[in-house]
Structure formats: structure tokens, C-alpha cells
């Protein structure tokens, strides 16, 4: 941990004391006012990630190496039919915020046949944006919509106990933020300006330890919170997102994974807006969910520090992948 991280441990004392010395299989996070439940929305073969919404309100779903749109009526239709992932188990995606990255363009990790990032337009034309040479598994992607990282595309690469974080400009220039972040993976996100002392930092979960980490634009790392949820490989916190304003509902991919302790269902799961509100979830909070069972925390950070609450669970068989996404409730 950096010197900044060491100093921030004291500021997160409320979180750490609330979560205790959590062990795998045990929930130590304090409960919210009313537990919400992830429930199936629609069947999708091998869903891996959900992002959006696009301008028309549809969500983009990465599944079985292809892209689809999940419409407001919960119907799935093909999107960008010319694109197919060249391989790899977890080619997560991110939706461009516009500007020089292109309105509505989807950016996807490329794990095989030339490691890096590709951009896919609505016609399915894929172009190489950047090549990534850092060793390890490329397994996190998110746009910086707050600005501390220069509104660039951020990617994480795992190698052993460490993670490399890079920032990619719209012309493909790659800059290394750090090579020594703790091991993190999954649905990474950049914190909004309202997220206390971690505003503008890259927030990323560690499924093996249950910890939630921040990486600053200068490459320093700090512990945000301990999730207080079960942790370990294919079990711990994996998917996350910051809650937008309005009355959104949350979506996440639940992938069929035969032989796994949490074998999944091949569905997209949802928590509706009233259930989120009843659980005490508010705009600007971080939702973070476990890969196994979709156990979900709400993390709220402000000037006085951070608070963690256990607010939702899913089917016990759930096997989450990728980001949590939000769309307006209809």
C-alpha cells in the first residue's frame, strides 16, 4: 500500500470496524433497511457483460462472443452482427461516452489473436484501438467520465498479486498509470465527484480478498473498504457500478458455468428501482456484487469516510460477470 493508502486506512476505520474480520462464506457487512433481490429478466446464452444505456435506452449485452441489444421491452436482438470475439473467457465491454471515442461505440477487450482493445461500431465493424503488452490477464475496462484520468479509457491487467492499470486515449496512445496496484478484476468503475476522498479514482474489487481498492490518477492505491461478503476465487466481489441519478434499475449478467460452485443460469438479472430505494441505495453510491450468489453491498463515501451495507442477494446459483449496469425504469 502507498503512503496515501496507509493514511487513508484511518479514515476508513468506520468501514473496517463495521465489516470485521470477515471469513469466506460469512456475511459481516451490516444490513441495509430492507434486503433487495436480483431476479431474472431474460434468458441470454453465455452472458458476460451488460453496459449502457445507449441513446435510445437499449442496453448492450456481450454474450457468447457476440453483441446484442436488450430493449426496454426486455427483448434481445442482434447488434453489430459483423463482430465476433476472437476468443478468451472474459472479453468485457464498455460503452463510449461520445466525443472522440465515438457516440455509441462499444469498446471490447481482445484477449486472443493480438491482445488489446477493439472498438465496434453499430455496423459491426471492429478496429484495433490499442495493443497491450503488459503481462497477465486483461480483465477490466471502463471509461473515465469524471475527468481525473483525462476522460480516457482505463484497462486493468492482472499478473500474480499485482495489477497494471493503463489509460488509453481515443487515438490509441497507451499510458501506464501503475504496475503495482493490488490484484483486482471485473467490473471496474471511476468514482463520481461526490464519492468523498476517492472522487475521481478508479475503484476496483478483489474477489480473492473481498477488498475494494482505489487507484488515483497518479497511480497511488488506497483501500476503500472491506466488503464483508464471502471471498475467494469465483466467489468474491466481482461486479460493480456507481448509481446514477433518477430512478434507475440495476442489471447484471449471470453466466452459466457448469461444474462451478455457483453454476449460473444464463440470464440477465435485475433489481427494480423501488427495491433499490427500499434497500437504502442512493445516487452516487457504489453497488458491488459477488461473483457467487450475487450478494451485494452499497458503499457510500463522503467527507466523514465510507459506510458499507449489505443490501441485496441473488439466486444462490448465480455466477456474475462484468459490470453492473443501470437503465431508467419504465
pLDDT tens by residue, 43-60: 999 999 999 999 888 999
Is the pLDDT confidence value at 184 over 60? yes
Domain map (residue ranges) of the chain: 3-328
In tens, the pLDDT along 136-157 reads 999 999 999 999 999 999 999 9
**What's the pLDDT at 249?**
97
Calculate the alpha carbon distances from 125 to 122, 128, 193, 199 in Å: 7, 10, 34, 35
Residue 1 has pLDDT above 70, yes or no: no
- In whole angstroms, give the CA distance from residue 104 to residue 87: 23
Mean pLDDT along residues 224-239 = 95
pLDDT tier at 12, thresholds 50, 70, 90 = very low
Whether 224 shows a pLDDT value over 60: the answer reads yes
Assess contact for 272 and 74: CB atoms under 8 A: no
Peptide bond into 314 cis (omega under 30): no
Looking at residue 77, what is its pLDDT?
95
Query: Cα 156–158–9 angle (5° rounding)?
Result: 80
Q: What is the pLDDT of residues 77-127, one digit of tens each?
A: 999 988 999 887 779 999 999 999 999 999 999 998 889 999 999 888 899
pLDDT in tens, 247-295: 999 999 999 999 999 999 999 999 999 999 999 999 999 999 999 999 9
Check whether 24 has a pLDDT greater than 70: no
165 has a pLDDT exceeding 90? yes
pLDDT of 18 reads 35
Class of domain 3-328: mainly beta
Distance separating alpha carbons of residues 287 and 4, to the nearest angstrom: 24
Greatest CA separation for the chain: 51
Q: Whose CA is closest to 152, among 142, 164, 160?
A: 142
Q: What is the pLDDT of residues 283-308, one digit of tens each?
A: 999 999 999 999 999 999 999 999 99
CA distance 134 to 250: 33
Beta pairing, strands 221-226 & 39-43: unpaired
- Tell whether pTM > 0.85: yes
d(CA 63, CA 295): 22
Which pLDDT score is estimated for 113?
Answer: 83
Amino acid at each position: 500500500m502507498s503512503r496515501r493508502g496507509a493514511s487513508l486506512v484511518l479514515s476508513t476505520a468506520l468501514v473496517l470496524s463495521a465489516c470485521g474480520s470477515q471469513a469466506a462464506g460469512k456475511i459481516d457487512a451490516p444490513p441495509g433497511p430492507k434486503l433487495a433481490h436480483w431476479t431474472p429478466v431474460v434468458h441470454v446464452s453465455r452472458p458476460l457483460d451488460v453496459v449502457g444505456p445507449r441513446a435510445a435506452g437499449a442496453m448492450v449485452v456481450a454474450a457468447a462472443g457476440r453483441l446484442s441489444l436488450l430493449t426496454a421491452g426486455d427483448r434481445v436482438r442482434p447488434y453489430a452482427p459483423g463482430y465476433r470475439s476472437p476468443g478468451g473467457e472474459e472479453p468485457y465491454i464498455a460503452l463510449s461516452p461520445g466525443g472522440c471515442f465515438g457516440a455509441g461505440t462499444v469498446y471490447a477487450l481482445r484477449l486472443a489473436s493480438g491482445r488489446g482493445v477493439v472498438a465496434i461500431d453499430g455496423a459491426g465493424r471492429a478496429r484495433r484501438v490499442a495493443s497491450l503488452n503488459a503481462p497477465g490477464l486483461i480483465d477490466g475496462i471502463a471509461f473515465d467520465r469524471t475527468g481525473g484520468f483525462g476522460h480516457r479509457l482505463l484497462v486493468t491487467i492482472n499478473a500474480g498479486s499485482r495489477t497494471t492499470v493503463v489509460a488509453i486515449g481515443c487515438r490509441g496512445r497507451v499510458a501506464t498509470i501503475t504496475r503495482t496496484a493490488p490484484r483486482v478484476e471485473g467490473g471496474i468503475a471511476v468514482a463520481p465527484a461526490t464519492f468523498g476522498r476517492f472522487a475521481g479514482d478508479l475503484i476496483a474489487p478483489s474477489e480473492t480478498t473481498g477488498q475494494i481498492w482505489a487507484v488515483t490518477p497518479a497511480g497511488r492505491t488506497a483501500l476503500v473498504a472491506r466488503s464483508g461478503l464471502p471471498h475467494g476465487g469465483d466467489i468474491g466481489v466481482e461486479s460493480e457500478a456507481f448509481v446514477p441519478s433518477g430512478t434507475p434499475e440495476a442489471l447484471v449478467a449471470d453466466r452459466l458455468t457448469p461444474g462451478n460452485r455457483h453454476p449460473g443460469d444464463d440470464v440477465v438479472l435485475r433489481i427494480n428501482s423501488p427495491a433499490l430505494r427500499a434497500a437504502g441505495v442512493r445516487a452516487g453510491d457504489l453497488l458491488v456484487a459477488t461473483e457467487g450468489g450475487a450478494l451485494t453491498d452499497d458503499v457510500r463515501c463522503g467527507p466523514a469516510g465510507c459506510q458499507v451495507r449489505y443490501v441485496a442477494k441473488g439466486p444462490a446459483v448465480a455466477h456474475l460477470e462484468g459490470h453492473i449496469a443501470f437503465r431508467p425504469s419504465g
